[in-house]
């Protein structure tokens, strides 16, 4: 089951948004990662990711280690748009 974006504010760690996505199989996971790569290259913005055969964990952080702002939320929304196109 996909989890919504979870904000993680300071002082726990640096501000960030986190989300876990689940996929039916490796092919679906890989297809999503390819779309995420294309988005990241187009926007020159890169999330931290970890993944396995059927899941992807994504962390979006501010570029300047400051608080979360509209740019991070917009990038997260763009990532959401990649799910099940």
List, in order of start, the domains of the chain with CATH numbers.
6-80 (3.30.1360.20)
Of 3-12, 22-31, 68-77, the range with the lowest mean pLDDT is 3-12
pTM over 0.85: no
Residues 6+ apart with CB under 8 A from 2: 19, 20, 21, 22, 83
DSSP string, 54-71: TEEEEEE--TTSS---HH
Question: What was the pLDDT predicted at 9?
Answer: 64
Nearest residue to 76 (alpha-carbon basis) of 13, 9, 10, 21: 21
Q: What is the pLDDT of residues 13-71, one digit of tens each?
A: 678 999 999 999 999 999 999 999 999 999 999 999 999 999 999 999 998 878 899 99
């Amino acid at each position: 089951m996909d989890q919504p974006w979870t904000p993680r504010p300071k002082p726990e760690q640096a501000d960030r948004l986190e989300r876990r996505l689940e996929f039916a199989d490796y092919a679906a996971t890989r297809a999503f990662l390819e779309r995420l790569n294309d988005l990241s290259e187009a926007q020159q913005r890169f999330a931290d990711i970890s993944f396995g055969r059927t899941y992807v964990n994504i962390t979006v952080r501010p570029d300047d280690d400051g608080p979360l702002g509209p740019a991070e939320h917009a990038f997260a929304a763009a990532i959401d748009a990649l799910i099940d196109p």
